[in-house]
Amino acid sequence: MKTLIGAEPQPLAVALERTALLVIDMQRDFLEPGGFGETLGNDVSLLKAAVKPLQAVLKAARAAGLLVIHTREGHRPDMSDAPPAKVERGEPSKRIGAPGPMGRILIRGEPGHDIIPELYPVAGEPVIDKPGKGAFYQTDLELTLRNCGIENLIVTGVTTEVCVNTTVREANDRGYRCIVLGDCCASYFPEFHEMGLKMIKAQGGIFGWVTGSKQMLAAFAANKGPKYAQGSA
Ligand code: C5J
């Protein structure tokens, strides 16, 4: 059975049991004061707008039995997976690996690297640690999706024009249908958020579809009881 999701540039019918919710980088380092986002000079409060709508979608996705996957951007404590070209940006005391109020900036295991409490993963939800902006680069995301029979991704998280867009483009090239929930994404730059969504849905949906939490919740409500089942046909 397929569920129709109201979206742009056109509605899309998907099998929810072949659909995963992807929550990208909702980490303290990006959303809370003192983290990576703020050290780059950004107003981190702008990202908070995505939290409430995303909480509602996360709850509905869990209730509907969807596979929920979280990602985190960050690096090993020895930073062997951090390209110098990425690290050598900004003031040295505020770079990746430098000590900050939430521990070493963007380093795995540090408080700032963790997912914000409002959207914390529950037991059984895969958390993909990624060293880059795209969630497919140097991770086992693709393997996980394949093993779980996933064909469609509901994409949410931060930031719209960086990790969300990069991941959507990677996913699109791999054959996944990406449905991006605009109000469940956010950027430090409102104009980049808007253009980031436009780029995805332009040209007949060149990278995917764009909709919002309301439309997604309506689609869940219209489809009672799809269950994610690993290996189902
Ligand atoms: C950034 C991200 N903006 N998660 N990372 O550096 O979008």
What are the backbone dihedrals phi and psi of residue 133, each rounded to the nearest 5 degrees, phi first?
-85, -40
Residue owning tokens 């980049």: 192
Kindly state whether residue 232 falls inside one of the protein's structural domains.
no
State how beta strands 67-73 and 127-130 pair: parallel
CA-to-CA distance for 229 and 17, rounded, in angstroms?
A: 7
Any ligand 1 atom below 6 A from CB of 105: no
Choosing from 129, 130, 184, 185, which is the catalytic residue? 130
d(CA 54, CA 48): 10
* Residue 11 CB neighbours (<10 A): 13
Task: List the structure tokens of 198.
Answer: 């436009």
Tell me the CA distances in angstroms from 42 to 56, 94, 96, 208, one per residue in order: 26, 13, 15, 28
**44: Cβ below 6 Å to ligand 1?**
no
Global confidence as pTM: 0.95
Domain-located, residue 227 = no
Q: Domain limits at 156?
A: 3-222
Does residue 192 fall inside a structural domain? yes
Ligand 1 atom at minimum distance from 163 CA: 7
Cα 134 to averaged position of ligand 1 atoms, centre (Å): 9
> How far, in Å, is the centroid of ligand 1 from the Cα of 72?
10
The reply to whether ligand 1 has any atom less than 6 angstroms from the CB of 156 is no
Contact 112, 27 (CB under 8 A): yes
229 within a domain of the structure (yes/no): no
Q: What is the pLDDT of residue 39?
A: 87
Question: Is 33 among the domain residues?
Answer: yes
Decide if 15 is inside a domain: yes
Residue 162 beta carbon below 6 angstroms from any ligand 1 atom: yes
Q: Whose CA is nearest to atom 6 of ligand 1?
A: 162
Q: What is the pLDDT of residue 179?
A: 98
pLDDT in tens, the chain (233 residues): 899 999 999 999 999 999 999 999 999 999 999 899 998 899 999 999 999 999 999 999 999 999 999 999 999 999 999 999 999 988 898 899 999 999 999 999 999 999 999 999 999 999 999 999 999 999 999 999 999 999 999 999 999 999 999 999 999 999 999 999 999 999 999 999 999 999 999 999 999 999 999 999 999 999 874 444 443 33
To the query of whether residue 163 is one of the catalytic residues in this protein, the response is yes
Report which protein residue has its CA nearest ligand 1's atom 2: 163
Are the C-beta atoms of residues 181 and 51 closer than 8 Å to each other?
no
Cβ neighbours around 197 below 10 Å, total = 24
Instruction: Quote the number of domains for the chain.
Output: 1
CA of 37 to the centre of ligand 1 (A): 8
User: What is the pLDDT, as a whole number, of residue 16?
Assistant: 97
The alpha carbon torsion through 175, 233, 226, 51 (nearest 10 deg) reads -30
Measured between alpha carbons, how far is 45 from 42 in angstroms, rounded to an integer? Answer: 9
Residue 196 lies in a domain: yes
The CA 214 to ligand 1 mean position distance, Å, reads 25
Contact (CB, 8 A) for 39 and 100: yes
The reply to whether 48 belongs to the active site is: no
CATH code, domain carrying 145: 3.40.50.850
**Domain membership flag for residue 24:** yes
Active site residue 185: no
The token duo for 167 is 């991941």
Measuring CA to CA, which residue among 147, 149, 212 is closest to residue 179? 212
